[in-house]
Structure formats: C-alpha cells, structure tokens
Amino acid sequence: MNYLEVLKSKQLGKRVEFKSIFTNVRRGGSSNRDVKNGLAYAINKGSGKNDLVAVFYIGINLMKKAKFIAGDRMDIQKSADGKYGLIKRINKGGYALSMKHTKNTGKISTSFIDELPRVNSLTVLENVVVDDEGILFEWPTVPPTEE
C-alpha cells in the first residue's frame, strides 16, 4: 500500500487535514512547457524584478480524471506535516485553472511563497492520485541550500 492509499484508507480512522497555503491572489508569469499526462510544478520569474511565480501544470488526462475544466476556481493545499499537497476545486476565491495554447495542459499560476518548495526546473510530481476531493500529490523534496 503506498502512502496515498494509506491516507485514503478507512483503517486510519481519520482523514489527513489540509489547509490553504495562499491568502492573496495575484497574476503570475507564463511558461511554454508541456506535461502530457501528469502533474508538474515549476518556479518561474514573474514580471517584477524579484517576483517569482509558482506554476502547476496538469495534463489533460489527469484533468479529465479529476473532472476539472478550464475556468474552475482551484485551491492549493498542504498537509500539516508538509509532505503532501491537494489541488481542490472551490466555489469562491482561489486561482483560475486556465488552458495552455496547446489545449493539452491546464495551468494554475500563483505567487511564490516560502511555504512552497523552491525547485530549479520543471519537476514532474510523483505519486499523484485523484480522489473525490481533488488531486493528491507528494511535494518534491528539495535539498537544503548551502550558504
């Protein structure tokens, strides 16, 4: 049984709690990378001098499985221990799910905050599972930076 199956199983007696890690919504930059069938995460440069934008790319097949469509409002959540994430559809607020020009990939752009892992390039996220709440995934492990 992998860790997401354990999270979803009734044997634990309780569900892992998630909370939103974003409080204010801002427009982000753009990227021309494609992810065909999975979930990927990247940090891009924003429009300002020191602005960074966190971008999630969702493959069209994963979007169909999760029943997400362009224009849905999305929330990105993080588990209390920081190991797992959840992309969830919400009614108000959040970030709009847009389609890239290829129509094969959905995109959610957010302002980068310190609670997010800082990756150096487009990172395909592992252990992605779709359930009734949304898309569950494991955050990428980033080695500590040397100072």
* Residue 68 to residue 48: CA distance in whole angstroms: 30
* Residue 67 to residue 64: CA distance in whole angstroms: 5
Q: Does a structural domain hold residue 29?
A: yes
Whether this model's pTM surpasses 0.85: no
* Joined tokens for residue 8: 């979803």
- Point out the least confidently predicted range of 13-22, 72-81, 98-107, 125-134: 13-22
Q: Does a structural domain hold residue 44?
A: yes
Q: Does a structural domain hold residue 143?
A: no
Q: How far is CA 90 from the centre of its chain?
A: 14
Give the domain range for residue 84.
Answer: 16-138
pLDDT level of residue 12 (50, 70, 90 thresholds): low
pLDDT level of residue 10 (50, 70, 90 thresholds): very low
Total domains present in the chain? 1
Q: Does a structural domain hold residue 125?
A: yes
pLDDT level of residue 26 (50, 70, 90 thresholds): very low
List of residues 6+ apart from 72 with CB closer than 8 A: 89, 96, 97
Task: Assess contact for 142 and 118: CB atoms under 8 A.
Answer: yes
Q: Does a structural domain hold residue 49?
A: yes
Q: Does a structural domain hold residue 107?
A: yes
